[in-house]
Structure 1
Amino acid sequence: MRRLFALALPMLLSISFAHAAETLRVGSQVLAVGDSAVRAIGLLGDPAYKEPVENTFGAARGERWQYQMGNRVTTVTIIGGKVASIEDRSR
């Protein structure tokens, strides 16, 4: 039984970390993958930096928005008017 628990624990932890990367707490609100770009701007404000996201042929797919909040940099990728990914890291 202990061996099964020892094997299952890392898998359960990896699932929770993968889910955490899909959300960002902003005060009492939460921004999640799938939310609209309008909601992202409403919660985070205008980005400090924007860059285009292109496919392998160079066609525009969306934008990558960067926000600096204290010593953290948050990157929100917008594809098709929706949040496609959220990266939050320390500087």
Structure 2
Amino acid sequence: MRKTAMFLTLMLAAGTALADTYAFGNRVISSGDSIGRLVEIAGKPDLVTPLENEYGAREGENWTYFRDGKTIVFTIDTRGRILRITESR
């Protein structure tokens, strides 16, 4: 039982340490990077969508890029940091 608990703890810790990444050519953007770095590497987004909570308070933005038949969405927090990167076709 103790080994199972230790294994689960290690797996959860490893999962939180992994970052979302996306490569623009040979340059990589990761979750935690600033929007300044994102603009430096990818340029201005094609679409910016505000994110609000149920009371209308701003919680961040989704920055969307359309590249090579893909849609790449960077979720940005209110501090200007990338929280999540999602990609779809």
Could you state the TM-score of these two structures normalised by the residue count of structure 1? Answer: 0.73
In structure 2, what is the equivalent of residue 58 of structure 1?
56
Q: Which runs of 5+ in 2 are unaligned?
A: 1-10
Task: Please tell me the root mean square deviation across aligned C-alpha atoms, in Å.
Answer: 1.9
> For the residues of structure 2 that align with 1:46 and 1:23, how far apart are their CA atoms?
18
> For the residues of structure 2 that align with 1:41 and 1:54, how far apart are their CA atoms?
23
In structure 2, what is the equivalent of residue 85 of structure 1?
84
- Runs of 4+ with >2 A deviation: none
In structure 1, what is the equivalent of residue 20 of structure 2?
22
Q: Which runs of 5+ in 1 are unaligned?
A: 1-11
Query: How many percent of aligned residue pairs carry the same amino acid?
Result: 31
> For the residues of structure 1 that align with 2:34 and 2:67, how far apart are their CA atoms?
21
User: Which amino acid counterpart does residue 31 of structure 1 have in structure 2?
Assistant: I
Equivalent of residue 71 in structure 1, options 69, 72, 75: 69
Note the C-alpha offset of 1:56: 2.6
Secondary structure class of the residue paired with 1:56: coil
